[in-house]
Amino acid sequence: MIILHGFAYSNYYNIVKHVLLHKGVPFKEDLQWGGSDDYLQLSPAGKIPSMTLDGGEHLSESSVCCDYLEDAYPDPALYPADALARARVRQIMKIAELYLELSCRRLLPFAFTQSEVPAPIAGEVREVVSRGIAALNQLCEFSPFVTGSQQSMADIYLRYVMGVTDLGGTLLKWDIGNEIEGLRDWQAMMAELDISKKIDADRQANEKDFFAMVQQRIAAR
């Protein structure tokens, strides 16, 4: 049975978890915060999440784990059959990650320490996120799913990317999601999926322990 290593408050962990649940793949969860020498045996770069496969092999990086699951468990598919349509799904995923999530992730230390975001950093984040907003407005359909009538990997990625993005927007006093046409209605629809409800409940249950871990690490610096 696959073992998913990481913690439920992590959006990248939840991307892979959502794929596992969507495909009905049996798996177990192993709470790992990362940052230890032992964890490097599971994830060479120390990233959350990682997976241990049935044969004992380890994989890390959420996109790699998701691609493995799509290849190993192709039904139900999360990518279209057509090569160009698959590339368009991946294009949305990459833009959402690079221009929204990773940019807003720069703001997380200020959220954890409840400190003000320096103006130069805020300006840089706004510039990059604005490019992402423009791109997603051009590429996303939300009819009702991101790329049309069928749910794809882009729906799963964008749902959990927006968790960090919306937090970043709060710090910048900027409703980022509201600037992507159709996104808020799509978010509400995705939140009603049984899988989403389970993941959200698990994330909430992990919140207290996550922030206790963060504060402990901040105090230890």
Question: 182-193 burial string, b = 16+ CB within 10 Å, else e?
Answer: ebeebbeebeeb
Task: Give the separation between CA 112 and CA 74, rounded to whole angstroms.
Answer: 39
CATH code for the domain defined by 83-191: 1.20.1050.10
Residue pLDDT, tens place only, 154-197: 999 999 999 999 999 999 999 999 999 999 999 999 999 999 99
Task: Give the separation between CA 144 and CA 193, rounded to whole angstroms.
Answer: 13
Categorize the per-residue pLDDT at 217 as very low, low, confident or very high, splitting at 50, 70 and 90. Answer: confident
Query: In the CATH hierarchy, which top-level class contains the domain 2-76?
Result: alpha beta
Give SS3 for 31: strand
Would you state the pLDDT for residue 220? Answer: 80
Residues 65, 208, 191: CA angle, nearest 5 degrees: 55
pLDDT at 113 over 90: no
The whole-chain average pLDDT of the chain stands at: 96
195, amino acid identity: I
pTM of the model: 0.95
- Domain residue spans of the chain: 2-76, 83-191
